[in-house]
Amino acid sequence: EELPDDTAALARYLIGKLVVRDLPDGRVSGRIVETEAYVAGDAAGHGFRGMTERNRSLFLERGHAYVYLAYGISFMLNVSSEAQGTGTGVLIRALEPLEGIEIMRLNRGV
């Protein structure tokens, strides 16, 4: 299935999709329930000031993961959203946990 080539459309498209990761201790998964689109020219977007070593995956063609550590506390997952070199993306703001909830709790220190 082809991904939408517009950042806002991709943000809507990703709602309801699953994020799945197989870990040595088991599988964790969640349904995407909230996204945020960062379009070209948005000063809040990580691509606004251009490509750096840290954000270079955001500048790949749509569909690539861009993960970064925010404020030294939480890892944030984004999906690059447009043509290579654009630097636009969709932030995955919230997941509904489905599988591996105890593993998630342990990883979060809860």
Beta bridge partners of 67: 77
Cβ(33)–Cβ(95) under 8 Å? Answer: yes
pLDDT 10s digits, 37-75: 999 999 999 999 999 999 999 999 999 999 999 999 889
Using the structure block, give the residue that is written with the tokens 């990883």: 107
CA distance 12 to 6: 10
Domains within the chain, CATH numbers bracketed: 7-108 (3.10.300.10)
Mean pLDDT of 80-94: 96
pTM (predicted TM-score): 0.90
pLDDT tier at 30 (50, 70, 90 boundaries)? very high
Sheet with 18-23: strands ordered across: 18-23, 26-38, 89-99, 74-80, 65-70
**pLDDT score of 109 more than 90:** no
